[in-house]
Amino acid sequence: MAKWWDYCIIGSGIAGLYTALLARQVGGSVLILTKGGIDECNTKHAQGGIAAAIGKGDSPELHLKDTLAAGDGLCYPEAVRILVEEAPDRIADLVKFGVPFDTMDGEVALTQEAAHSVSRILHAGGDATGEHIEVTLSRLARLAKCEILEHCLVAEIVVEDGVFKGVRAFDCRTGAIEEFACRFAILATGGAGQLFKFTTNPDIATGDGIALAFRAGAEITDMEFIQFHPTALRLPGVAPFLISEAVRGEGGVLRNSRHQAFMAGYSPQGDLAPRDIVARSILAEMKSTGSDKVFLDITHLPARTVAARFPHIYRFCLEHGLDITRSPIPVAPAAHYMMGGVETNTWGETNIAGLFAAGETACTGVHGANRLASNSLLEVVVFGKRIIQRTAEVLDGRGLVAESGSQAVHHLSRRKATRSAPPSLSALQSLMWDKVGIVRSGEALSRSATTLAAWERALGGPSDRPSYELANLILVGRLMAEAALLREESRGAHFRSDFPHPSPGWQRHIVFRAES
């Protein structure tokens, strides 16, 4: 490997850009590899905002309590404590970088989202928080002299004797494979929403980091937990654009196709119940009314307030013929956020020395079985900072230590060989939506896992970006289906119709590692 950097950062959403900027501050040389244009990522689409206990009447203790309650017994409490206590300082960092959080009467404006007991969500540009973060950080990354290679898909993590050595990447424009040697890699590749037929995630969300890390020998945890956002726009021919939870936070009411408000019948928290409860309640209402959608109604709010507070949503809907100040918004659930991922300790370290993971691809343990809204952008900045603190010690001469790894790991089960034609992305997305989605059963999961294993065997060698991504999605889908099959209970975002209650024996994590 000819070229060499201190940091190879894979991905250019908030996790990649924020860690890149901090790495430059500690004097590291930085290479950012990203498979699309620099701003193609989930981050750019974030609407609601970023959570931090900075308001009157709030405290890290209260934020901790809400996060643990949403995580339904599976959060790592130590990681959550770090998250909530370091939050205010990390928000201050973002402000210093120039992220223009909204203010009201000279104070930072805070909104409410589901399962937060107080208003604690900072936002920018109303509902354009992610876009402001992405634009601000990507401009700074260029100024900070990070080397940025766009349209460069990382295809392999190179590990020798348990130590990270470098990456192999596929140039999506020329088809060439290039090798990059570096001291540390930070996987910042985002989520895997593209596994599902309906998702709020853009095309890049194909679970690459999880697949790359698994193949390299890293541990992958909590894969059965994928969050379905209750309210994605459901209009014929229009992608499931997110209608932020903040819309309910500001007073929006869910109604079924008979115009009846229904959430009070499902949860004492009503429209602001945790996401998994709202998503399943919507499915139940859709089923009982024979409709493919419900409605989110904000027509009772002053039109000017709606347009000013949610300019992005207002404009998007208007461009598609819907004035949300006059008509209720047709919505349905869609895959949104991956709670599981590459297992890390509280310094972002994986079980491979030199390999770190940050952001949605990582499993730091702060989300448990269900993420509290707006905790993910926060998780990135809190644990991203800790990765740079840890690696700076190494730059200063301290040795690299691999995490010892979990005691009990699962391997992917060897499913009986069945013949299959090579799959298509849409066949995969339909299978995952129908059988590994919001409501699951053992029988459907078992059949899906077998199908996924057969599809994996039927794949040819990847030769372009879509074929690399499809191979990654199928592997990640397998990890998800197998984990969901193992977990014979219902908890957080994982619901099994054949095991509809939580089981105390299952208050533990499912960890996968490839057989060596």
Query: Is 46 a binder of ligand FAD (CB under 6 A)?
Result: yes
Query: Is 154 a binder of ligand FAD (CB under 6 A)?
Result: yes
Q: Which of 13, 249, 330, 477 binds ligand FAD (CB under 6 A)?
A: 13
Query: Is 34 a binder of ligand FAD (CB under 6 A)?
Result: yes
User: What SS3 state is found at 451?
Assistant: helix
Rounded to an integer, what distance in angstroms lies between the CA atom of residue 238 and that of residue 255?
21
Residue 41 binds which entry of ligand FAD, ligand SIN, none, CB below 5-8 Å type-dependent: ligand FAD
Closest listed residue to residue 312, CA positions, set 48, 35, 33: 48
Residue number with CB closer to ligand FAD (153 or 432): 153
User: What SS3 state is found at 177?
Assistant: strand
Distances (CA, A) of 497 to 22, 27, 490: 46, 53, 8
Residue number with CB closer to ligand FAD (227 or 351): 227
Q: How many residues bind ligand FAD (CB under 6 A)?
A: 44
Q: Which residue has the tokens 């908030």?
A: 14
Q: Which of 26, 29, 36, 235 binds ligand FAD (CB under 6 A)?
A: 36
Active site residue 275: yes
Q: Which of 102, 245, 271, 469 binds ligand SIN (CB under 6 A)?
A: 245
Query: Is 200 a binder of ligand FAD (CB under 6 A)?
Result: yes
Residue 345 binds which entry of ligand FAD, ligand SIN, none, CB below 5-8 Å type-dependent: none
| Least distance between ligand SIN and beta carbon 41 (Å) | 14
Q: State the pairing for strand pair 110-111/107-108.
A: unpaired
Query: Is 217 a binder of ligand FAD (CB under 6 A)?
Result: no
| Least distance between ligand FAD and beta carbon 185 (Å) | 11
Query: Is 374 a binder of ligand SIN (CB under 6 A)?
Result: yes
Closest listed residue to residue 33, CA positions, set 18, 6, 11, 7: 11
Residue 56's CB is within 10 A of a number of other CB atoms, namely: 8
17-56 binders of ligand SIN (CB under 6 A) = 47-48
Residue number with CB closer to ligand SIN (134 or 245): 245
Assign residue 39 a region (left: φ > 0; alpha: ψ between -120 and 50; beta: otherwise): alpha
Distances (CA, A) of 296 to 47, 180, 230, 231, 247: 17, 49, 10, 8, 9
- Give residues with Cβ within 8 angstroms of 74, minimum separation 6: 222, 225, 368, 369, 491, 492, 507, 509
CB 228 within 8 A of CB 199: no
Residue nearest to ligand FAD (CB): 13
Backbone angles phi, psi at 197, to 5 degrees: -60, -40
Q: State the pairing for strand pair 220-221/30-33.
A: unpaired
| Least distance between ligand FAD and beta carbon 328 (Å) | 20
Helices (H), 98-147: 129-143
Q: How many residues bind ligand SIN (CB under 6 A)?
A: 9
Residue number with CB closer to ligand SIN (76 or 337): 337
Query: Is 201 a binder of ligand SIN (CB under 6 A)?
Result: no
- Binding residues (CB under 6 A) for ligand SIN: these are 47-48, 244-246, 337, 373-374, 376
- Binding residues (CB under 6 A) for ligand FAD: these are 10-16, 33-36, 40-43, 45-50, 129-130, 153-154, 188-191, 200-201, 204-205, 208, 242, 337, 359-361, 374-377, 380
Residues with catalytic roles: 275
